Amino acid sequence: MKYKHILFVMLALVFSAFTTKPPKKSKLQLKVERLAAEVEPKVIAWRHHLHEHPELSNREYKTAEYIAAHLQSLGLEVQTGVAKTGVVAILKGGKPGPVVALRADIDALPVPERVELPWASKAIGEYNGAEVPVMHACGHDTHTAILMGTAEVLTRVKAELRGTVKFIFQPAEEGAPKGEEGGAKLMVKEGVLKNPDVEAIFGLHISAGTHVGNINYRPGGAMASANSFEITIHGKQSHGSLPWGGIDPIVTAAQIINNAQTIVSRSLPLTKEAAVVSFGAIHGGVRNNIIPEEVKMVGTIRALDEEMRQEIFRRLETIVTKTAESNGATADLVINEGYPITYNDVALTNKMLPTLQDVMGAGHVRLTPAITGAEDFSFFQREVPGFYFFLGGTPLDTPEKEAAPHHTPDFYVDDAGMVYGVKVMSRLVVDYMAMK
């Protein structure tokens, strides 16, 4: 009898696990999801307009006007000209509570569009002095439209909100033009997270390699830091037939490139996190029979751990200077500031994960590895706890692995994914406020 009782209890527990219903949604949670579905046609129309009229970093003048007009129509407190072309709006809820920020990036890229769409971009812009085609080749048009939709949804439940929402439409995520400041770093510098003081911030990125209806996330380091570097090697020019009469910066450059490969493979604990050191360009010389006086190289450093990042900086400095010295040359290394690690606050991520699962369905919220791409959302996360995740944009009839990558002429994401973005962003605000 004893064993029969134990068996009965075990069967009851198993049955309970399969029949337990998720917590019932509150009236406000149901309302914002219903409103998100209602505004979906508007969100799609906004996305099409923004996609057809893209603008480059720090040049998002028309985009900012378009966003501001919508926010003003909602009766929000709107500030323009933030970090040059950014737009910020404040929504004060009907009840006291925390200040929650939502962010969308608004700039496009110098990429020609190859996708055949009625709303394809034919825009031309100027990038570093050159005339270039312009395209929303990273999906910032969808981010902007989603946040415009979220602003409308939350405004319509204003009286029921327990706190304040700050909508941040950020320019220049892809990097300001040479000689200019911009992006999240400048927004933080200008005090965008102050007055009122933001307690937590949420952001999303559409993913061309993730099916519509899914979300990918990762607590902790989710995206890598990114630092560009420049190396200038100073040698002594000589005839190519008499190399002993000079100091060869090209040979020195080759040795620096080879030696730098040992930084990741031999100096970093790769079981801890990933890291990358890549050289992207090398320039030196004009003729086959002249050893030049100087060689310039540029590259990128990516890391998912701050200590490893600093070790890369130290090792690269040593390799560059000592390798040059061993050849009788000298070399200058400049490591530019770049973006910090996109670090999802672990406590905040764990707290908000049930919201994602409730909106999308638990099976559609996937824990994924970190990636070595970078995001300047990280500047906000250095100041306040933040959570950044990836929203599916691949059409269901396209295999995820066959989707064209971001930053390419064939990049495309489906309109069907955007309503999920509005639902999730709206619910993150409502649910976070309810926990306070």
Q: Are 234 and 330 in contact (CB under 8 A)?
A: yes
**Encoding tokens for residue 387?**
């959570």
> Dmax over Cα atoms in the chain, in whole Å?
98
User: C-alpha distances in angstroms, 158 versus 94, 138, 165, 270?
Assistant: 6, 32, 10, 48
Give the single-character DSSP code of 162.
E
Q: Are 432 and 348 in contact (CB under 8 A)?
A: no
Distance between alpha carbon 365 and the CA centroid of its chain, in Å?
18
CA–CA separation, 53 vs 338, rounded Å?
28
H or E element in which residue 65 lies: helix 61-73
CA–CA separation, 296 vs 233, rounded Å?
6
Q: Interhelix angle for 27-52 vs 61-73, to 10°?
A: 150
Q: Which residues participate in catalysis according to the annotation?
A: 107, 173
Query: Which candidate, 1, 3, 123, 106, places its Cα nearest to that of 52?
Result: 123
Query: Which candidate, 51, 157, 180, places its Cα nearest to that of 106?
Result: 51
CA–CA separation, 140 vs 296, rounded Å?
33
Q: What is the dihedral of CA 8, 22, 390, 63, to 10 degrees?
A: 180
Ramachandran region, residue 390 (left: φ > 0; alpha: ψ -120 to 50; beta: rest): beta
CA–CA separation, 259 vs 263, rounded Å?
8
Q: Are 226 and 339 in contact (CB under 8 A)?
A: yes
Place of tokens 């309970």: 16
CA–CA separation, 152 vs 164, rounded Å?
14
**Encoding tokens for residue 236?**
């002594």
